[in-house]
């Protein structure tokens, strides 16, 4: 007769609420027509959809990642500040669309404050520069009499935003990424980004760009960036038309978290690094059904998909000593739990 023994005295750690985070990218109808729709009778004075905000508030998101995703590697944040009518409309090469820049940094922070969530900004390490990343931190968090802090004030925001979480690029290992780098070149570049960003605001916490947690990329990046970062990102999507494969595929999260923790433990030991480094599982979901036209990303989920999501979350909870941030991709309309139909 099989027996299961529950050891109630064995405590792994505390579950961090940030594992229930979200992700909003400039992709499909996630931002425009999703959380933001200027001029709509359904929107407030900021252009935020009231019905979507109500649904998002019900999720009680502790953290929200933005603006990407692949989008960020071609995004220049200064295009998205100042008067909306003066912001440039540009080509988005990540998703082969056009970006109006009407939803930018100030709108994102305002949205986070409105839904009571912590902002998490990923910087552009594809076409972006060192100066650009440093200026973004200064614009958001600067308190002195400096150009970027004063520009934030000029744009109507006297107090600093105090954005704590910053990602050092997105999926820079991928051939789909603008400005793709090999692991060693990414480390060299990210170190310089990390230095100026932390020098601008020592209170921020940085996330290195990981892959799936156990690759050569992950090893090289952790060995190079461990002294500078607080988190290492992991991205995994799963899905299958086969019911059992779909439900159980997220078990690879176990492999990702165990192996990534081993890499972290090894680098902290060999380099005598005192500060903790956790996993930020900042993109995950069931994603495999391909559709055509502009609604191709607007997944309609099934019970099997819901069970797969539960498997992911169960893994995050059971590895609470390893993963402290996790962001479901994405928030609205694009492979999302919330959809708008008008």
pLDDT digits 0-9 by tens, 226-238: 999 999 999 999 9
Region of 92 on the Ramachandran plot (φ > 0 left; ψ -120 to 50 alpha; else beta):
beta
Instruction: Tell me the pLDDT band of 341, cut-offs 50, 70 and 90.
Output: confident
**Structural domain count of the chain:** 1
Any catalytic annotation for residue 205?
no
Residue-averaged pLDDT of the chain: 96
Residue 5 lies in a domain: no
Name the active-site residue from 37, 283, 298, 299: 283
pLDDT digits 0-9 by tens, 2-31: 888 888 888 889 999 999 999 999 999 999
Residue 7 lies in a domain: no
Residue 116 lies in a domain: yes
Determine the Cα–Cα distance for residues 68 and 74; give it in Å rounded to an integer.
10
- Inter-residue contact 321 to 18 (CB < 8 Å): no
Burial 201-240 (b: 16+ CB within 10 A, else e): beebbbbbbbbbbbbebbbebbbbbbebbbbbbbbbebbe
Examine the pLDDT at 290 and tell me if it is beyond 70.
Answer: no
Any catalytic annotation for residue 283?
yes
Residue 335 lies in a domain: no
Name the active-site residue from 171, 211, 298, 299: 171
Residue 24 lies in a domain: yes
Examine the pLDDT at 243 and tell me if it is beyond 60.
Answer: yes
pLDDT score, position 208: 99
Record the tokens describing residue 11, joined without a space.
């405590």
Q: Which of residues 180 and 2 earns the better pLDDT score?
A: 180
Residue 11 lies in a domain: no
Domain range for 25: 17-329
- Inter-residue contact 191 to 224 (CB < 8 Å): yes
In sign, the C-alpha dihedral spanning 296, 298, 303, 306 is positive
Determine the Cα–Cα distance for residues 200 and 7; give it in Å rounded to an integer.
46
pLDDT digits 0-9 by tens, 188-234: 999 999 999 999 999 999 999 999 999 999 999 999 999 999 999 99
Residues 247-253: contacts with CB under 8 Å, at least 24 apart: 247/304, 247/307, 247/308, 247/311, 248/308, 248/311, 249/308, 250/308, 250/309, 250/311, 250/312, 250/315, 251/311, 251/315, 253/281, 253/284, 253/311, 253/312, 253/315, 253/316
Would you tell me how many other CB atoms lie within 10 Å of the CB of residue 47?
19
Residue 3 lies in a domain: no
Question: Which CATH number covers residue 79?
Answer: 3.20.20.80
Query: Of 307, 226, 206, 300, which Cα lies nearest the Cα of 268?
Result: 226
Examine the pLDDT at 322 and tell me if it is beyond 80.
Answer: yes
Determine the Cα–Cα distance for residues 61 and 257; give it in Å rounded to an integer.
22
Residue 9 lies in a domain: no
- Inter-residue contact 285 to 329 (CB < 8 Å): yes
pLDDT score, position 292: 53
Considering the entire predicted model, what is its pTM?
0.95
pLDDT digits 0-9 by tens, 83-129: 999 999 999 999 999 999 999 999 999 999 999 999 999 999 999 99
Query: Of 213, 225, 238, which Cα lies nearest the Cα of 169?
Result: 225
pLDDT score, position 295: 61
């Amino acid at each position: 007769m099989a027996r299961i023994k529950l050891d109630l005295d064995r405590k792994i750690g505390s579950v961090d609420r940030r594992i229930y985070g979200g992700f909003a990218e400039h992709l499909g109808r996630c931002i425009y027509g999703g959380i933001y729709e200027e001029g709509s009778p359904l929107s407030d004075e900021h252009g935020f959809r009231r019905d979507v905000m109500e649904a998002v508030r019900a999720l009680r998101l502790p953290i929200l990642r933005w603006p990407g995703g692949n989008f960020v590697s071609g995004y220049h944040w200064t295009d998205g500040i100042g008067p909306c009518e003066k912001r440039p409309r540009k080509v988005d090469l990540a998703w082969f669309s056009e970006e109006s820049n009407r939803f930018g940094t100030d709108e994102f922070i305002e949205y986070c404050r409105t839904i009571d969530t912590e902002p998490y900004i990923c910087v552009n390490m594809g076409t972006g520069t060192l100066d650009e990343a440093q200026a973004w931190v200064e614009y958001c968090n600067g308190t002195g009499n400096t150009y970027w802090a004063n520009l934030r004030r000029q744009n109507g925001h006297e107090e600093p935003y105090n954005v704590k979480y910053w990602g050092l690029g997105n999926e820079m290992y991928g051939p789909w990424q603008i400005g793709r780098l090999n692991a060693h070149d990414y480390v060299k570049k990210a170190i310089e980004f990390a230095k100026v960003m932390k020098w601008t605001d020592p209170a921020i916490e940085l996330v290195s760009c990981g892959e799936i947690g156990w690759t050569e990329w992950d090893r090289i990046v952790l060995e190079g960036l461990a002294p500078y970062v607080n988190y290492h990102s992991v991205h995994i999507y799963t899905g299958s038309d086969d019911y059992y494969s779909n439900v159980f595929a997220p078990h690879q999260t176990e492999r990702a978290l165990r192996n990534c923790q081993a890499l972290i433990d090894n680098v902290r030991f060999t380099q005598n690094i005192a500060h903790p480094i956790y996993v930020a599982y900042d993109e995950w979901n069931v994603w495999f059904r391909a559709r055509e036209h502009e609604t191709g990303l607007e997944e309609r989920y099934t019970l099997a998909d819901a069970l797969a999501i539960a498997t992911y979350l169960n893994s995050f909870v059971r590895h609470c000593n390893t993963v402290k941030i996790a962001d479901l991709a994405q928030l609205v309309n694009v492979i999302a739990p919330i959809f708008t139909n008008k």
